[in-house]
Amino acid sequence: MADCNSNCSDCSQTCSDRTAPSSFLIQPDESTKIKKIIGIVSGKGGVGKSLITSLLASEMAKKGYKVGILDADITGPSIPKYFGIHEKAYANNEGKIIPQVAENGVKIISVNLILENEEDPVIWRGPIIAGVVKQFYQDVIWDELDYLFIDMPPGTGDVPLTIFQSLPIDGIVVATAPSDLISMIVKKAVKMATMMNVDVIGAVENMSYLKCPDCGKEIAVFGESKIEEIAKNEKIDTFSRIPIDPEISKATDAGRIFDIKEDYLFDIVDKLEII
């Protein structure tokens, strides 16, 4: 503009500087270089989002990538337990947080690594929780990562919204389970991502079936799989199914999720390599 004095506070013109939407994106520490940030979302808690996050991270680490997990499920953190981590994260001289590193090399930050007692409940209001998640991105020394997976809080509320607005998320993986209720709520999560201009990389149906150990027949314990229908309706081109597998509960209870041999998520993993 011809008569612009660069001081918007004493100018009433409606120029492009004033109308351009301001970005809420936050920056990580200057030593941090993250190539891809992937959120794992679910419309509803209890579908196995943390399991899917842990399996994806472990598969990518197995392929030789540098991987981190930011456990943003602040009120229900399960990631450290799945990787057998009980030590605390600590701060360096500059007050930056050093994440814990699992046996398979995956770097992890979670509220459970900073609470005095991992059984203590987190009774914080939304803005405080969102602030902690932002700190886990800004103030953690992640160094160089090929993939940072974010175990998002369930639902489409205040905290997931803040994460979508503040972190440069490259794509999401949607966690679901074979139930009508969950399928309906999944659509909300997908719509939220679309409204935030975030790509949906794929969907995973957890507890999709149980394989009979004697005859190999697939039993639809929680009802027939809905994943193909969801993928078609929501135009998601990649999906995987995880069965109910006693090896999974054994591995998570033992803190050794990286011992799971079956690559149930290979379709999603392949896609993550090319996005």
Task: Examine residue 110 and tell whether it contacts ligand ATP (CB under 6 A).
Answer: no
The contact pattern for ligand ATP, residues 186-225, with x = CB under 6 A and - = no contact, is --------------------xx------------------
Task: Examine residue 248 and tell whether it contacts ligand ATP (CB under 6 A).
Answer: yes
Task: Examine residue 177 and tell whether it contacts ligand ATP (CB under 6 A).
Answer: no
Angle between helices 49-62 and 246-253 (to 10 degrees): 80
The contact pattern for ligand ATP, residues 228-247, with x = CB under 6 A and - = no contact, is --------------x-xx--
The contact pattern for ligand ATP, residues 124-163, with x = CB under 6 A and - = no contact, is ------------------------------x---------
Q: Which residues contact 122 (CB under 8 A, 6 or more apart)?
A: 74, 75, 111, 115, 129
The contact pattern for ligand ATP, residues 16-55, with x = CB under 6 A and - = no contact, is --------------------------x--xxxxxxx----
Closer CB to ligand ATP, 146 or 209, in the complex: 209
Length reported for the chain: 275
Closer CB to ligand ATP, 46 or 157, in the complex: 46
Strands 144-151 and 33-41, by their bridges, are: parallel
Interacting residues toward ligand ATP by CB under 6 A: 42, 45-51, 76, 78, 154, 175, 206-207, 242, 244-245, 248-249, 252
